[in-house]
Structure 1
């Protein structure tokens, strides 16, 4: 499977996710919502698996490849959220975000045939990236919810809506913590130390503390909604910096071991 086949797989998956999101928005039968969303996930994941087989390595080497996983996990996080809380709009937002990242890969594909550097040839590589991408998807869903509550909801914010933000943020933070711990163990075996405070790790720590601060703020001031939501969006901006923003920092060039995807 080559990258040339990405477009048809992506288009079919997006059509399925779009139908599922539209059905959820219009309150159609849940069988239609689940059926089309899961079908889209299966189609998209089949491309990821085919790329994995073709490359003879996990497709997680470049930013474009990590965007594949993020595009996959966003609808997955959306259907999990919809299944639990029945917010009819969540699948629409996850569909739009997936569309954005898929379009980036369609119009600006990155090199997808790079071999893995020795440090990435580790059994920790795959679970580390997958756990992080799932965490990013859950935290992305939390950010979408925060945007909706802050800027689009006309009535007052309800406690159950904040509970949804809290649940998404806590699940995302838990998986982010697992990702950091697995990364530390991987770093110990690859470079001889658990933590080096390079730019990537510094921003990862800042992001982790920011989300932890959100959780503590919610516990301490559970009725202060808007400040909490602003903090959640700030945390998500830090997350974007941690994920790909550091690749463009002059301080990371030639220094950070985490900028290998630009080599």
Structure 2
């Protein structure tokens, strides 16, 4: 599968996700599920075909991880919609996914079949895929926080519970991803943890969401403070994901920075 075909899969997927978002607003639940699910199937089909073409998991570069994030965002959106019936969530997840798809169209960063020896590990694919799914769930929590802070005048406990549940599951997947990464590091470099810049930011992100969880368990917690914590945590998550590539401390030293060449 040539990367040039991505635009066709992306357009079909986005059209189906837009139809799903429109159907959600119109309370046409069956159409919303069918269209969103169809878009996910089309997009995932491209990922599978690209995987087969590259003969390796498409997870090596920043562009390839954006591909997974574009897929997981609508998946997180449909999960939230199916559980809590929020009409707007599919619109937000579609818009966010479209942003990452457009970035990939203009700056794909999808490369050849080469995979450095350290990445030729059975832990590589599950580690990154689990992390991308966690990022999508925490991205949905961020979207909820933005909505509650800036678009809704009064934050109800039900909406905050949605943020809580998204963070609980997202944080659990972050934890699993970290464990997979530690096992991978032990196999590749002989140590579970080396306080590499990427690992340091991953630990900071993991702890930041744990702070949110503990804060929400406190009966004295307030909605606005909790939501602002979510916004700050999402910034840390972005630093952990791609911001690390631009830090001087990671240049030439971090084994976790994405290969951009």
The TM-score with structure 1 as length reference comes to 0.97
Rounded Cα–Cα distance in structure 1 between residues aligned with 2:219 and 2:43: 41
Rounded Cα–Cα distance in structure 2 between residues aligned with 1:222 and 1:141: 25
Rounded Cα–Cα distance in structure 2 between residues aligned with 1:46 and 1:223: 44
Structure 1 range deviating more: 173-182 or 253-262: 253-262
SS in 2 for 1:261: coil
Match of 2:90 in 1: 91
Match of 1:73 in 2: 72
* Structure 2: runs of 5+ lacking an equivalent: none
Match of 1:122 in 2: 121
CA pair 21-260 structure 1, distance change in 2 beyond 3 A:
closer
Matches within 5 A, 1:133-144: 133-144=132-143
CA deviation digits over 1:63-103, x for unaligned, max 9?
A: 00000100000000000110000001000100000000000
Rounded Cα–Cα distance in structure 2 between residues aligned with 1:222 and 1:50: 51
User: Do structure 1's residue 41 and structure 2's residue 65 form an aligned pair?
Assistant: no
CA deviation digits over 1:162-203, x for unaligned, max 9?
A: 000000011000000000011001100100000010110000
Q: Quick one: which of 192, 207, 210 aligns to 2:190?
A: 192
Q: Quick one: which of 245, 248, 259 aligns to 1:247?
A: 245
CA pair 111-130 structure 1, distance change in 2 beyond 3 A:
closer
User: Number of aligned pairs?
Assistant: 261
Match of 1:104 in 2: 103
Rounded Cα–Cα distance in structure 2 between residues aligned with 1:119 and 1:136: 23
User: Do structure 1's residue 217 and structure 2's residue 204 form an aligned pair?
Assistant: no
Match of 1:20 in 2: 20
Structure 1 residue 223: Cα displacement: 4.8
Structure 1 range deviating more: 113-122 or 174-183: 113-122
- Tell me the C-alpha RMSD between the 2 structures: 1.0
SS in 1 for 2:259: helix
Match of 1:4 in 2: 4
CA deviation digits over 1:2-35, x for unaligned, max 9?
A: 10000000000000001001110222x2110000
The TM-score with structure 2 as length reference comes to 0.98
Structure 1 residue 113: Cα displacement: 1.6
Match of 1:170 in 2: 168
Match of 1:150 in 2: 149
Match of 2:256 in 1: 258
CA deviation digits over 1:92-139, x for unaligned, max 9?
A: 100000000000001112142251100000000111011000000000
